[in-house]
Structure 1
Amino acid sequence: MAAANVRPVIVFDLFGVIARNQTEDDKRKLERIAGVAGDAPAEAAFWNVYWACRPPYDAGQSSLDYWSTVTRELGVTYSKEIVAALIEADLASWCDVDERMVALIAEIGASGRTIGLLSNIILDLVPIFEAKHGGWLRHFHALTYSCRIGVAKPDPRAYRICAERLGVATSEALFFDDNERNVLAARQAGMAAEVFTSPEQVRERLGLP
């Protein structure tokens, strides 16, 4: 833990904390494109494979290779047009943000606190997300993306790389993530970490009004 009289560097996860997770409408759109909408077993199989194949994608795998793996695991064949539509819809589904958290990030940044981002994010999404949200991303002193460092949370290397990029030891960082598994891994890597629940939680933890 950081010394009591030293304000820790703040590290945020992205999706489920600042950026919103996929909406139900986003999911239904993907199901329609994949041809599984309305078939409960097929929908369940699609999402099981979608998530099971995600770790290599987060660590830098290309979109085409990811969807090739998904289709192979599902035992289906999609045309190039369908794969392109799946990629486009999937990328678009991860671009919305919680404006309350965006305002809070700007406030923390303006206060002089050092803040970093540690996100499991796919390579093709980075330029899209940065083009849309570059205005507030500039408040971060380091953007650590899993797809660019080759490892994804909860791999302990991700937390160490993030801390190194911020110029601190892991013990000098406080991390917020909505995934308990990632929070536990952060603690094991030496960070103070909390499961994110709301902007109000962050404000209270940082002693902000």
Structure 2
Amino acid sequence: MANVIVFDLYGVIARTQGDAARRRIEELAGVAGESFWEAYWACRPPYDAGQDGTAYWTAVADRLGVRFADIPALIAADLDSWCHVDPAMVELIHELADRGHRLGLLSNIIAELVPVWESRHSGWLDRFESLTFSCRVGVAKPDPRAYEICAERMGVAPGEVLFIDDREENVVAARAAGMKAEVFVSAEQVRKLAGAPAR
């Protein structure tokens, strides 16, 4: 039975960007397709580690060789695309906390999104003993230090942690840091890993 469980946020508890949201961002940027999203993700690590939104979108524009007409609108649309949850996972978080599991969160997240999550989702975020956000600690997964900081904040050794993430590279890095880690599949998978009764 896993007592200390640390979750990734996006792709596990939170939903990733939907197609409509991605189209809205492309419309605001005036650039669409693979080249836009390559630049979007290539410039993301400093943003996840604490860079401000204007600097991020300026870097994206520079990489594409364009100028964005309305960066505040891009920031707002981007934030809105990253703040929706999977109800089944929220239910599981409450279930695990009620059963006495110690829960932590380790997420690559931009600074502007943190208050959005805290204002909209405080009810279940309060079930976590520790929230380790990349933008607040200055390092992002798969940097080994991110996992070390997370374990330190939970007051445990990395080997005591079961870490759940949807990205293979982050799971591999967590294992290298000493954690037990699994690629996320479903709420039922996590329920079994935690030793909770199946639904």
Residue 5 of structure 2 corresponds to which residue in structure 1? 10
Task: Note the C-alpha offset of 1:63.
Answer: 0.4
State the aligned residue count.
Answer: 197
Gaps of 5+ in 1: 1-5, 38-42
TM, length-normalised to structure 2: 0.97
- Counterparts in 2 of 1:109 and 1:132: CA distance versus 1, 3 Å: same
**Distance of 2:31 and 2:2 partners within structure 1:** 50
Matched, 1:130 2:111: no
Structure-to-structure mapping, 1:82-93, within 5 angstroms: 82-93=70-81
Residue 3 of structure 1 corresponds to which residue in structure 2? none
Residue 69 of structure 1 corresponds to which residue in structure 2? 59
Residue 26 of structure 2 corresponds to which residue in structure 1? 31
**Distance of 1:147 and 1:187 partners within structure 2:** 22
Task: Note the C-alpha offset of 1:36.
Answer: 2.4
From 45, 66, 72, give the equivalent of 1:55: 45
**Distance of 1:77 and 1:7 partners within structure 2:** 49
Structure-to-structure mapping, 1:90-101, within 5 angstroms: 90-101=78-89
Task: Note the C-alpha offset of 1:208.
Answer: 1.3
Task: Note the C-alpha offset of 1:8.
Answer: 3.6
Matched, 1:174 2:162: yes
TM, length-normalised to structure 1: 0.92
Structure with bigger gyration radius: 1
- The RMSD of aligned alpha carbons is 0.9
Q: Which amino acid aligns with 1:185?
A: A
Per-residue Cα deviation, 1:106-131 (whole angstroms, up to 9, x for no partner): 11111111110000000000001110
